Structure 1
């Protein structure tokens, strides 16, 4: 089992000059550079961009719906790196309500897990194919108030890695925590990010640019 060393790829406007920040979380087997390149398709020209790189290109070793203990200590390490990054962004002068999150697949699961454990008014979050983590969902982990943070969760039906039922359950939990959440399920969509999803993310999450 492994933990993650801190390795953050940055792009966009320097954080000291930016009005907002976007944290990108890559999927299993991918890289920080892969996911941060998505920024060119979103309205984030005024943002400082950050993408942590997972050790061995994977945030945790097994499926997100295996018992949490099997994905430790990697999962806690990944959550700690995001937390540290968010603290640093806030310290540099960008408030939480101007911080956005974008994740795909394993990175989408991690995005939802992090923000739901630390619910607050963020700029917004996009989880391209993801759900909350664990064989059983541990409600004790989730606290706070999203204060109507806009959140988009998408997935395909069926998806080889992310059961639709888990996406639906995750949406329900996050909605109860006062998020302005949109869930979109695409029939027959393969495990990727489609142009339709990017357009929806721009419309719902990044339309304040």
Structure 2
């Protein structure tokens, strides 16, 4: 089992000059560089970008639907890494409500798990194909108020890794915690990020906040 070393790449506006920050979280087998290139399509401007890199290119070893203990200590280490990154961004003078998250697949699961364990008013979050982590959902982990943070969750039906039922359950939990969740399920979509999902992310999370 493994833990993660602090290893992020940055792009965009230097954090000391930025008013907003976007944290990009890559999927299993992918890389920080890879997920950061997503902004070529999202076209977010005037923000500092951060993309942490997972050890062995994976945030945790098994499926996100496996019992949580099987994915330890990697999962706690990954969540801790993001928490540290958020603290760094806030210490640089960027407010929590100007911090955004974008994750794909394993990175989308980690995004949802992090923000729901640390609920508050964020700029917004996009989870391209993901859900909350664990064989069973442990509601003890989730406290706080999203204060109408916009969250977009997308997935395919069926998806080989992410059951639609878990995505819908995750949406319900975030909504109970006062997140403004948009869920889009695409029949037969491949396990990739489609042009339609990019457009939706721009419309719901980024353009609505004038982050262009």
> TM range, normalised to the smaller chain?
over 0.9
Task: Using the TM superposition, give the Cα deviation of residue 90 of structure 1 relative to its aligned residue in structure 2, in angstroms.
Answer: 0.2
* Residue in 2 that maps onto 1:132: 132
Task: Using the TM superposition, give the Cα deviation of residue 192 of structure 1 relative to its aligned residue in structure 2, in angstroms.
Answer: 0.3
Task: Using the TM superposition, give the Cα deviation of residue 66 of structure 1 relative to its aligned residue in structure 2, in angstroms.
Answer: 0.4
Rounded to whole Å, the distance in 2 between the matches of 1:37 and 1:176 is 33
Q: Does 1:67 align with 2:45?
A: no
Q: TM-score, normalised by structure 2?
A: 0.98
Task: Using the TM superposition, give the Cα deviation of residue 41 of structure 1 relative to its aligned residue in structure 2, in angstroms.
Answer: 1.6
Q: What is the total number of aligned residue pairs between the two structures?
A: 209
Task: Using the TM superposition, give the Cα deviation of residue 43 of structure 1 relative to its aligned residue in structure 2, in angstroms.
Answer: 3.8
Deviations 1:118-175 (Å, cap 9, x if unpaired)? 0000000000000000000000000100000000000000000000000000000000
* Residue in 1 that maps onto 2:86: 86
Runs of 4+ in 1 over 3 A off after TM superposition: none
SS at match of 2:206: coil
Task: Using the TM superposition, give the Cα deviation of residue 40 of structure 1 relative to its aligned residue in structure 2, in angstroms.
Answer: 1.8
* Residue in 2 that maps onto 1:174: 174
Cα-Cα RMSD: 0.5
Return 5+ residue gaps in structure 1 as ranges.
none
* Residue in 1 that maps onto 2:141: 141
Rounded to whole Å, the distance in 2 between the matches of 1:92 and 1:32 is 21
Rounded to whole Å, the distance in 2 between the matches of 1:36 and 1:115 is 19
**Native 8 Å contact 1:43 1:206 kept in 2:** no
* Residue in 2 that maps onto 1:57: 57
Q: TM-score, normalised by structure 1?
A: 0.99
Rounded to whole Å, the distance in 2 between the matches of 1:27 and 1:84 is 19
